[in-house]
Chain A
Amino acid sequence: MLRITNLLRLSGGGVGETITNTLTKNVCVVSWAATVQQSVPSREFHMSFNQLARFKEHMVEAPKPGKGNYFRRDVHYPEKYTIKPIRHVVVGTLGGGIKHPFLWVDYKRHVPEGMEGPLIERVLQIVYEPSRTAHVALVGYADKLRYIIATENMKPGDIIKTSNEITKIAVRANEGDAYPLGKGGYFARAAGTCCKILRKIGQRVVVLNAKKREISLPQNCMAVVGRVSNVSWDTVHIGSPNNLRRMGYRPRSGLWHRKTGYHGRKLRRPPPCEEYVTKDQLPKPVPRIKLTMDPDVTHTYFKQFRGTY
């Protein structure tokens, strides 16, 4: 449950505050705000003249492999974003593992550059995707269709809003909408997870992680209102050892082994608040100054004084 009325009392600088008036809604923190400097695409995309005249194309980055869901999976991302399922292979097996239709999900909920006002999209379909625990929603506006992580009560026909503005007046947020606050597609993607906004300090906002750890984020980041879908994933009865193999678990004995590293012996207090920073705010590397001289010049320079020493 979320309570954000405290923000009114603790807020410092008055310019540019978002205050949501929802008392009983959770927040799942989903995406960076969009600025062209930040969203650097990993591959070259083609932009046509007609589209430039309206606004720049909504670029979708291919996520980097090797972490989380992409562990041991070699995904062949095409050049351009597509709705069609992508081939992926489990690395290190014979046969490539179970081949699910892997869908390229857009984790960033931001407004494309050049567009004035909020981005309004409609939900077309909720899709079950076996390569992640959450459900995925097919969503579109104008010519473009894309997949996003679905929240708990999303259904086909809903209208979703993402806005980039930080306003003084409170906003009545509906589930599924996205407003500025939060780092994206990164903190709460798993089924049934959500984050909680705790307090606001200047131009940063402190948010409670899905793992109950505090993080401070710049106010421009985007957050989606609601809880990630497929809430009852935890409660599903596994049923058979085959099902565990399909989930990715290798066979085990079932006994408690002392030295595995899980369930550590010491209870430690949680670490302090972790700060996340945009690329602009990173300390810039100090430019190195190199003093170079032509070799001809050095010869003459030292030769001049050779006799005097």
Chain B
Amino acid sequence: MRFTASLLNPRMWINMRGKAWYRFRKRAIPDDANFKRIIAAGYNVVDANEYVKPLSPLYTDYDSLPDLKPTYPVPPKNDRNNPDWHDEICKVFDANVFPIEGVQQALAFTKGVRMSSELPGPILERADSIKFSEEEDKMAQRIVQQAFLWDSYLEKLPIVKHPDYPSLNPRRVYGIPLKRSNEIVFKNFLRLIESKVSPSISLSRMMAPEEELRVNLERHNSRVQFRLTPIVNMVSTGLLKPILSKQEVEDTQHLPLTDIYPFLSTANMEEVNVYKEADHFAIQPQNKFPYIHTSAFSHHIPGSHIHLHPRWNDDRFMGATIMTNFATALLMAKRKYGPEVPKILPEPVTTQMVHMTGKEFQFCVLQLNTLDLEDSSPTSIKNNVWITEKIDLYSELQNYYGKEIFEGYNPEILKLVAGMYLST
């Protein structure tokens, strides 16, 4: 009789004991009449125990078992033994990092000047020129509902903790992760717009894969690295044309630079010894579509208990969008002019950006005129930034005890995305 834990279970009923005994008994091969028939027919019958050893629960011979090595190697730790260890510290701007002084710090870092609280005129004109019919408006609303309510992909979501009660751990809920819903909204909006646009424009664009960007820079005598993962990178054959002409850029020279004394513009960045020195972008320069047109970033922090830390306020969120847009513009400048970019660019580089938190959208356009960021003289050339406030996509969207509530859909966002899509 085999020695099993189920029989020693004290919770088992007395009536079941006999049945369990019968179930877990040691069974031998029965001497049936069938074996005699097989032998009579001329086949060789052999005892199975010679070929198969039954595993005993008391003892396992680990030496005879095969080696279960992982098929992938274990990643190295962030120690001195790491091949990417450097003694010199590098400051990293990540999805977890926010500028502590908000917009002021981002403008001081990028040597930028905020032009207006709306997108530039040409983009708004193109946004008004596109008109969506009623059916297309309904499709847009269905896209939003699909992303947040109807999608069949479910995952155990991280806990949303109340900052005042840190020891309270509510039950983890199954739902659609925020990153996925942001992807669905933006990609399907682009597909809607593509159907209305002529093929000459739509065939010059491509959606790039989701991979980490890395850009390096020197600021305040220390190395700064941007590490960002967009949801969607729309890539095109040619760079965007600058929004302001040279004369208009010179007119903005007199505008004042921001001062955040006693802080430096690299405050609150993570300091790291393990980093790779080279820039990285998924698409190679030999590709047909080498230049970034617009990029969409979603504000989700994987593996964290709170999606939005309480220190992320609107001001700091806006600063983070400016910094990410600057990173994409820097990448494109390095792609066009090589690794050593001239201090004043002969032709300015512009990039567009969308920053999403699911409900709220923020649009940003940056024109990079100079990379001479250390020069803080009042009459130097500056970079131009157009950034909007947070715009809500809806006012209420949730599954409330089986009822779907969807109110306050804002069609302005689809228009602005279309306006950005059409810019050349």
Instruction: Choose from A53, A98, A125, A142 the contact partner of B263 (Cβ within 8 Å).
Output: A142
- Contact of B222 (CB < 8 Å), options: A46, A50, A120: A50
Contact of A122 with B263 in the complex, beta carbons under 8 Å = yes
Q: Does A141 contact B (CB under 8 A)?
A: yes
Determine the chain B residues whose CB is within 8 A of the CB of A122 once the complex forms: 262-263
Most buried by A among B89, B262, B271: B262
Question: Are A98 and B262 CB-contacts (below 8 A) given A48-B88, A49-B88?
Answer: no
Is there a chain A Cβ closer than 8 Å to B408's Cβ? no
Give the number of A-B contacts (CB < 8 Å). 49
- Bound state CA distance, A46 and B266, in angstroms? 19
5 closest A-B pairs by CB = A141-B262, A48-B89, A142-B264, A120-B262, A98-B167
User: Would you list which residues of chain A between 84 and 139 have a CB under 8 Å from chain B?
Assistant: 98-101, 120-122, 124-125
Complex A-B: 20 CB contacts under 8 Å: A46-B273, A50-B88, A50-B89, A50-B222, A51-B89, A98-B167, A99-B167, A124-B100, A125-B311, A140-B100, A140-B262, A140-B263, A140-B267, A142-B262, A142-B264, A142-B267, A143-B266, A143-B267, A143-B269, A145-B267
Interface of B is mostly: loop
B166 touching A141, Cβ below 8 Å? no
Contact (Cβ within 8 A) A48 B262:
no
Q: B264: which of A50, A124, A143 is its contact (CB, 8 Å)?
A: A143
User: Nearest CB to that of A127 among chain B residues?
Assistant: B311
Chain A residues in 8 Å Cβ range of B222 = 50, 143
Interface residues of B in 120-149 (CB under 8 A from A): none
A49 contact set on B, CB distance < 8 A: 87-88
Interface residues as binary, A271-299 with B (CB distance below 8 Å gives 1, 0 otherwise): 00000000000000000000000000000
| Docked complex Cα distance between A69 and B401 (Å) | 46
User: Quick one: CB contact mask for B238-265 with A, threshold 8 Å, 1 for yes?
Assistant: 0000000000000000000000001110
CA distance A144 to B267 in the complex (A): 7
Q: Mark A22-60, 1 if CB is under 8 A from B, else 0.
A: 000000000000000000000000101111010000000
Q: In the complex, which residues of chain B have a beta carbon less than 8 angstroms from the beta carbon of A51?
A: 89
CA distance A34 to B167 in the complex (A): 38
Q: Which residues of chain B are within 8 angstroms of A101 by Cβ–Cβ distance?
A: 166
Q: Does B221 contact A (CB under 8 A)?
A: yes
Q: When chains A and B are docked, how far (Å) is the Cα of A249 from the Cα of B254? A: 64
**Does B423 lie at the interface of the complex (its beta carbon under 8 Å from any beta carbon of A)?**
no
Within the assembled complex, what's the spacing in Å between the Cα atoms of A43 and B413?
53
A87 CA / B268 CA spacing, docked (Å): 21
B311 partner residues in chain A, CB cutoff 8 A: 125
Binding site for B on A (CB under 8 A): 46, 48-51, 53, 80, 98-101, 120-122, 124-125, 140-145, 159
Q: Which residues of A contact B262 (CB under 8 A)?
A: 120-122, 140-142, 159
Quick one: given A124-B100, A142-B263, A145-B267, are A99 and B88 in contact (CB under 8 Å)?
A: no
* Interface range, B side: 20 to 34
Q: How many whole Å from A68's CB to the nearest CB in chain B? A: 22
Q: In whole angstroms, how far apart are the Cα atoms of A221 and B1 in the complex?
A: 80
Which parts of B86-115 form the interface with A (CB within 8 Å)?
87-89, 91, 100
Interface bits B179-220 vs A (CB < 8 Å: 1, else 0) = 000000000000000000000000000000000000000001
- Give Cα A295 to B267, complex, Å: 66
Across the interface, name the chain B residue whose C-beta is closest to A100. B166
Q: Which of chain B's residues 146-186 have a Cβ closer than 8 Å to chain A?
A: 166-167
Tell me the complex Cα distance, A11–B220, Å.
46
CB neighbours (8 Å) of A46 from chain B are 87, 89, 273
CA distance A120 to B262 in the complex (A): 7
Q: Which residues of B contact A142 (CB under 8 A)?
A: 262-264, 267
Instruction: Supply 18 further A-B pairs (C-beta < 8 A) apart from A46-B87, A50-B89, A140-B263.
Output: A46-B273, A48-B88, A48-B89, A50-B88, A50-B221, A98-B167, A100-B167, A121-B262, A122-B262, A125-B311, A142-B262, A142-B263, A142-B267, A143-B91, A143-B220, A143-B266, A143-B267, A144-B267
CB-CB under 8 A from A141, the residues of chain B are 262-263
- A101–B162 alpha-carbon span in the complex (Å): 12
Q: Which residue of A has the minimal Cβ distance to B260? A: A122
Closest CB-CB distance, A192 to chain B, in whole Å?
23
| Chain B residues positioned under 8 Å from A124 (CB to CB) | 100
Q: Which chain B positions have C-beta within 8 A of A144?
A: 267
| Residues in A whose Cβ lies below 8 Å from that of B89 | 46, 48, 50-51
Return the chain B residue nearest A80 by Cβ.
B271
Q: How far is the CA of A145 from the CA of B262 in the complex (A)?
A: 11
Contacts of B263 on A, CB cut-off 8 Å?
122, 140-142
List of A residues within 8 angstroms of B220 by Cβ: 143
Per the bound structure, the CA–CA distance linking A214 and B88 in Å amounts to 48
Expressed in whole angstroms, the Cα–Cα distance for A224 and B266 within the complex equals 28
| Nearest-Cβ distance from residue A141 to partner chain B, whole angstroms | 4
Cβ contacts under 8 Å, A140 to chain B = 100, 262-263, 267
Q: How far is the CB of B258 from chain A (nearest CB, A)?
A: 15
In the complex, which of the residues A140, A144, A145 has the most CB atoms of chain B within 10 Å of its own CB atom? A140
Q: Which residue of A lies closest to B90 (CB)?
A: A48
Closest chain A CB from B159 CB (angstroms): 14
Whole-angstrom CA separation of A122 from B167 in the bound complex: 31
Residues of B within 8 A of A53 (CB): 221
Name the A residues within 8 Å of B87 (CB-CB).
46, 48-49
Judge whether A145 and B264 touch: CB under 8 Å.
no
Provide the residues of chain B in CB contact with A143, threshold 8 Å: 91, 220, 222, 264, 266-267, 269
| Complex alpha-carbon distance, A122 and B273, angstroms | 28
Closest approach, in angstroms, between the C-beta of A260 and any C-beta of chain B? 32
Closest to B101 in A: A124
The docked-state distance in angstroms from the alpha carbon of A225 to that of B266 is 30
CB distance from A212 to the nearest CB of B (A): 36
Interfacial chain A residues near B273, Cβ < 8 Å: 46
Report the bound CA distance from A53 to B221 in whole Å: 10
Q: Write the chain B residue with the least CB distance to A145.
A: B268
Q: In the docked arrangement, what's the CA distance between A101 and B263, Å?
A: 26
B100 touches A99 (CB 8 A): no
Judge whether B100 and A145 touch: CB under 8 Å: yes
